Structure formats: C-alpha cells, structure tokens
C-alpha cells in the first residue's frame, strides 16, 4: 500500500470516529481565541498595549476569551490580512486607514497632506465626526472598527541620498509608499517616483536599493530598525496616520454579549494608553535616532503644500471623497486645508 493510500485510509478512519478528547477543551484553554494580526514588531507600542489589553481580557472573561497577537506580518502582508479579515480567516487586524482605503475609499481621508497640525486636532477629529464618518463606511463592509483609532503618527521622509529640504529634492526620488492610492497620488504630486510596497518588504527594499526612500513616523523607523538602511531623516510631518482595530463582525458576534463588551472596552482603553505612549515616543525619539546615525533636518511645509495645490492634489481628492466628507475634514483641520 502506498503511503498516500495509507494516509488517506487512516485519515478517513479517524474522521469517522468520534473524538471526544479533541472536541473537549483542555482545562484552562479559552473558549474563544481571537487572532489579532499586525505589521509591527513586539517592541512597538501598539503591540505593547495590545498585550496589556489581551491580559485584561483574559482576566475579565475568566479565561473564556483569548486575544492572540500575531506581530511582524507573521500572518502575511497588510494586503493579505485585509483579505483575511474579510473572509473571517483572521478575526482582528490593526490596519492603517490609508491601506483600508483600497476597500473603503473614504478611510484614507485623515492622510490628506498637511491636514492636521498637531495631536489634539487629530484626536478631536478621529474621536469625533471624521472618525464616525469613516467607521460608518467601514461598517457597510461587515467589518467592525473599534471606536478609538491607535496612533501610528506624523510621518517623515527618510532616504539614503540627501536631505529633503524643498519639494525639488524629492524630484525623481524612488520612494516606497504603502499600498494605497492616496500615498501614490501624494508623492507623485510632489514629484517623486513612488512604489507601492507592503511593510514586510520595506527593510529589504531599502537595503537592496529597489527604493532609496520611505516615509514613516519615528516610532516605526526606530522599532523596525529602518535607520540601519537609511541616512537622512527630514522632518516633513506630511500627514498623520493611525491604525484602526478592525474586527470581523461575524467573529465578534460569536462571543457572548458580555464578553464582546469586555473585548471592545479593553481594546479601546489600550488605544488611549497607546496614544499617550506613541505620542511621547514620536516626540522623544529624535535624539535616539540621531545617535543611531540618522542625520536630521527641519522642513518648512509651506512649499510642499504649495506644490500639492499646484498639482491639483487637494481638488482631485475633494472630488473623490465628495463635498460632504471633505467639509468634515476641513472643519476638523481648523482651516488647515487650502
Ligand atoms: O506600512 C507602513 O509604512 C506603516 C507601518 O506605517 C503602516 O502600517 C501604514
């Protein structure tokens, strides 16, 4: 008998037998295990505070619910995880609104160039009308976005060629951007040559010079060690980006209502804790990164914004999002939009 036939027979025989040992949960095991995937290493404040939430959820549900973290794109790229969260193969996913926009177009709206000047403005917008608008659109796709978005941060351009001081310095620069139409549009409008690459391939793309530049908040540049393969950090602060916690609606609805409430409550609590931690790091990491060899320069945002206006960037995106959504952004940005 060939190995294949034997395996098929054994499998068939086993499948036909009742297997109480396998169907009963071992003592102490959770009734519900929710996988939570993301693209950051465990040291990133997102995973530090997701771990804290997971511990509190296990305690508060008496061990019935377990949130299992899968950091560092272990379950695949962001594009893969977005597919998995829709199918239910993945129960929860930390996803940048801009990446989510390949599915829910308005979700990229907070990333419009230079829309927000500081964190207080961002949190008022994202916990207020702008966030509600985006969450409403996400809900139409049978995905539940938890109330509080987590901080990724204000993004800065890094590269291995030269300091970026004026928009012309970006001309023709091969810059990695995440997979999202808004990012490609913005860096094309600024005169660079953007390439869409998922985060799990960024380090090697920079190392092998498939691209020479990328843009991310300080915390990401630090925790993913991008300073090892980049030389200059220009404080462009060209957009703010955050991570929604997305949950597959069917998976959440399988929980007892009180367990579901605990999961949502504790993750929202950790969102607020993580914001404080990430904001502090994003403000404080400059010295550390300089010590690790990155050369910093300040940037006047005005000419970058002018370049975007001249390229029709704002008008084009206003037309895509529609006037209603655009006016919510305009109000949240306190007159920061052209
Ligand atoms: O992919 C990126 O650059 C990152 C880590 O910032 C996001 O998840 C959008």
pLDDT (0 to 100) of residue 27: 62
- Return the structure tokens found at 103: 């599915």
Q: How does pLDDT run across 57-81, given as a tens digit for each residue?
A: 999 999 999 999 999 999 999 999 9
Percent of the chain with pLDDT over 90: 89
pLDDT (0 to 100) of residue 25: 58
Mutation probe of ligand 1 site: the residue of 38, 47, 93, 96 with most atoms within 8 A of C-beta:
96
217 and 40 in contact (C-beta within 8 Å)? no
Nearest-CA residue for atom 5 of ligand 1: 199
> At CA 101, angle to CA 131 and CA 241, rounded to 5?
55
Q: How many Å apart are CA 271 and CA 148, to the nearest integer? A: 6
pLDDT (0 to 100) of residue 13: 40
Q: How does pLDDT run across 167-197, given as a tens digit for each residue?
A: 999 999 999 999 999 999 999 999 999 999 9
180 in contact with ligand 1, CB cutoff 6 A = no
Longest alpha-carbon distance in the chain? 77
Ligand 1 centroid–CA 197 distance in Å is 10
The answer to whether residue 163 scores a pLDDT higher than 90 is: yes
Ligand 1 centroid–CA 85 distance in Å is 18
The answer to whether residue 335 scores a pLDDT higher than 50 is: yes
Ligand 1 centroid–CA 182 distance in Å is 13
3-state SS record for the chain = CCHHHHHHHHHHHHHHCCCHHHHCCCCCCCCEEEEEECCCCCCCHHHHHHHHHHHHHHHHCCCCEEEEEECCCCCCCHHHHHHHHHHCCCCEEEEEHHHHCCCCHHHHHHHCCCCCCCHHHHHHHHCCHHHHHHHHHHHCCCEEECCCCEEEEECEEEECCCCCCCHHHHCCCEEEECCCHHHHHHHHHCCCEEEECCHHHHHHHHHCCCCCEEEECHHHHHHCCHHHHCCEEEECCCCEEEEEEEEEHHHHHCCCHHHHHHHHHHHHHHHHHHHHHHHHHHHHHHHHHHHCCCEEEECCHHHHHHHHHHCCHHHHHHHHHCHHHHHHHHHHCCCCCC
Cα-trace Rg, the chain: 22
Using the atom order of ligand 1, give the atom closest to the CA of residue 99: 9
Q: How many residues does the chain have?
A: 338
pLDDT (0 to 100) of residue 103: 97
109 and 185 in contact (C-beta within 8 Å)? no
| Backbone phi, psi, residue 200, to 5° | -65, -10
Ligand 1 centroid–CA 178 distance in Å is 6
pLDDT (0 to 100) of residue 26: 63
Q: How far is CA 173 from CA 183, 187, 210, 291, 314, in A?
A: 14, 10, 11, 26, 22
152 in contact with ligand 1, CB cutoff 6 A = yes
Q: How does pLDDT run across 290-328, given as a tens digit for each residue?
A: 999 999 999 999 999 999 999 999 999 999 999 999 999
Closest listed residue to residue 314, CA positions, set 295, 298, 333: 333
- What region does 334 belong to: left with phi over 0, alpha with psi -120 to 50, or beta? left
241 in contact with ligand 1, CB cutoff 6 A = yes
pLDDT, the chain, mean = 93
152 and 178 in contact (C-beta within 8 Å)? no
247 and 36 in contact (C-beta within 8 Å)? no
Q: How does pLDDT run across 102-148, given as a tens digit for each residue?
A: 999 999 999 999 999 999 999 999 999 999 999 999 999 989 999 99
Using the atom order of ligand 1, give the atom closest to the CA of residue 155: 6
The answer to whether residue 21 scores a pLDDT higher than 50 is: no
39 in contact with ligand 1, CB cutoff 6 A = yes
Look-up of token digits 């950090």 = 233
Q: Provide the whole-model pTM.
A: 0.91
CA 170 to chain centre: 25
pLDDT (0 to 100) of residue 173: 98
User: Domains in the chain, please, with CATH?
Assistant: 4-152+241-283 (3.40.190.170), 154-240+284-332 (3.40.190.170)
Q: How does pLDDT run across 220-275, given as a tens digit for each residue?
A: 999 999 999 999 999 999 999 999 999 999 999 999 999 999 999 999 999 999 99
pLDDT (0 to 100) of residue 6: 40
240 and 149 in contact (C-beta within 8 Å)? no
Ligand 1 centroid–CA 14 distance in Å is 45
Q: How far is CA 321 from CA 40, 106, 107, 110, 231, in A?
A: 29, 6, 10, 11, 36
């Amino acid at each position: 008998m060939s190995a294949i036939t034997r395996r098929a027979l054994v499998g068939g025989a086993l499948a036909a037998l009742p297997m109480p040992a396998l169907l009963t949960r071992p003592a102490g095991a959770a009734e519900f295990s929710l996988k939570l995937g993301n693209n950051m290493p465990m040291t990133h404040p997102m995973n530090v505070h997701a771990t804290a939430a997971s511990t509190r959820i296990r305690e508060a549900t008496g061990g019935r619910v377990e949130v299992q973290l899968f950091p560092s794109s272990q379950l695949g790229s962001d594009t893969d995880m977005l597919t998995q969260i829709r199918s239910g193969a993945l129960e929860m996913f930390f996803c940048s609104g801009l990446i989510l926009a390949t599915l829910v177009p308005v979700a990229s709206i907070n990333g419009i160039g230079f829309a927000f000047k500081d964190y207080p403005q961002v949190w008022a917008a994202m916990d207020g009308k702008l966030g509600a608008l985006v969450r409403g659109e996400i809900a139409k796709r049978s995905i539940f976005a938890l109330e509080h978005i987590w901080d990724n941060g204000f993004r800065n351009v890094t590269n291995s060629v030269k300091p970026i001081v004026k928009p012309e310095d970006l001309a023709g620069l091969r810059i990695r951007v995440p997979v999202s139409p808004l990012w490609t549009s913005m860096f094309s409008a600024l005169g660079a040559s953007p390439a869409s690459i998922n985060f799990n391939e960024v380090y090697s793309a920079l190392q092998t010079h498939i691209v020479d530049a990328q843009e991310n908040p300080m915390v990401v540049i630090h925790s993913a060690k991008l300073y090892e393969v980049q030389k200059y950090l220009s404080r462009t602060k060209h957009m703010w980006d955050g991570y929604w916690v997305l949950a597959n609606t069917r998976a959440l609805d399988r929980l007892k209502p009180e367990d579901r409430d605990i999961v949502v409550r504790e993750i929202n609590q950790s969102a607020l804790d993580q914001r404080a931690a990430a904001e502090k790091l994003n403000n404080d990491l400059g010295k550390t990164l300089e010590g690790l060899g990155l050369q910093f320069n300040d940037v006047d945002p005005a000419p970058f914004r002018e370049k975007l206006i001249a390229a029709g960037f704002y008008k084009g995106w206003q037309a895509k999002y529609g006037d209603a959504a655009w006016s919510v952004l305009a109000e949240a940005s306190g007159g920061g939009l052209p």
